[in-house]
Structure 1
Amino acid sequence: MMIVPMADAHAEQVLEIYRLGIEGGDATFETAVPDWAAFSASRLPGHRFVAVGADGEVLGWAAVSRVSERRVYEGVVEHSVYVHPSAAGRGIGKALLRALIASTEAAGVWTVQSGVFPENAASLALHAACGFRVVGTRSRVARHHGLWRDVVLLERRSPIVD
């Protein structure tokens, strides 16, 4: 497996992995996959990666988005990491998240954050293993398929970016 920058050539497979995450029910509040143009426009270039298997298949992806357009938050991003269900448990998420952390730190980003459903134990464990801390839980923050859902807020403050 190799971690490489996400490119337009990966679009179909990235969006399929996203679709599978949406259908799984515990990855996102989103209910539909955007088209590639919308997906790409909402993620920052330079901090988008895919894990590619020996056969060229995309096994997972990670990317960041701005949390705000305000200058004071220029060093804070929100990230997503998704792994194809057939590739789960092979360290792909950890490799993607580590690549994302390295790229954001190199760019001067001091905080990477995310919101994770508490039922997503694998994601919570992944983030803990990569140095994220639980900030708190937003109880009943929004409805998802008609049910109120909580979100665990996670962040990783860079130890090298001042």
Structure 2
Amino acid sequence: MKIRAAHPADAGDIAALWNAMIRDTDATFTTQEKTIKGISAMIAERQGAFWVVEAGGVNGFVTYGPFRNGPGYAATVEHTIILGQQAQGRGAGRGLMRQAIAGARAQGHHVMVAAISGANPGAVAFHGKLGFTTVGQMPQVGRKGGKWLDLILMQKIISGP
């Protein structure tokens, strides 16, 4: 497996991974699928903040962006990580997260946030193993497929004061 910076040419593979999660799971509350054009633009906007893992093709990615608007939140980022079946259980997720944390730290960010669906306990466990701590749970703030879903907020301080 190889971790590298995402390129616009990866947008189709990234869209396939992201849209499968949107369509087939409650791991995200959105129902609006990503477009190749939109992902290409995101890759261009997020230079140094978007990576893929290759193992016979793109099998996962991580990216981060602003947590909230406004200058007071400038040092805090929220990330998205998605792995295809072929990459799961092989260290790809840990490798992608190490890369994202190092990249965010190098860009001067202080905190990384994970906003995780309560329907995705595996993601909570994964982030816990990486040193993220649960800082809040918001019951029934999401709705998808006729179900109310909880949002679990986890964070990791990634740089010194």
Give TM-score scaled by structure 2 length.
0.91
Q: Cα deviations across residues 79-109 of structure 1 (Å, max 9, x unaligned)?
A: 0000002322111111111110000011110
Q: Which residue of 2 aligns with 1:47?
A: 49
1:126 and 1:41 map into 2 onto residues whose CA distance is 29
Question: Identical aligned pairs, as a percentage?
Answer: 28
Q: Cα deviations across residues 27-72 of structure 1 (Å, max 9, x unaligned)?
A: 211113221332344563211000011x3x0110000121233111
Q: Which residue of 2 aligns with 1:58?
A: 58
Contact 2:119 2:150 in 1 (8 A): no
Q: How does 1:127-142 map to 2 (within 5 A)?
A: 127-142=127-142
SS in structure 2 of the partner of residue 11 of structure 1: helix
2:145 and 2:32 map into 1 onto residues whose CA distance is 12
Amino acid paired to 1:47: A
Q: CA deviation at 1:129?
A: 1.3
1:6 and 1:92 map into 2 onto residues whose CA distance is 15
2:102 and 2:117 map into 1 onto residues whose CA distance is 25
Q: Which residue of 1 aligns with 2:147?
A: 147
Contact 1:48 1:64 in 2 (8 A): yes
Q: How does 1:2-151 map to 2 (within 5 A)?
A: 2-42=2-42, 44-53=46-55, 55=56, 57-151=57-151
- Farther-moved stretch of structure 1 (68-77 vs 39-48): 39-48
Give TM-score scaled by structure 1 length.
0.90
2:87 and 2:129 map into 1 onto residues whose CA distance is 18
Q: CA deviation at 1:21?
A: 1.4
Contact 1:50 1:62 in 2 (8 A): yes
SS in structure 2 of the partner of residue 22 of structure 1: helix
Q: CA deviation at 1:125?
A: 1.6
**Pair 1:157 & 2:139 matched:** no
Q: Alignment RMSD, CA only?
A: 1.6
SS in structure 1 of the partner of residue 108 of structure 2: coil
- Farther-moved stretch of structure 1 (117-126 vs 77-86): 117-126
Amino acid paired to 1:19: N
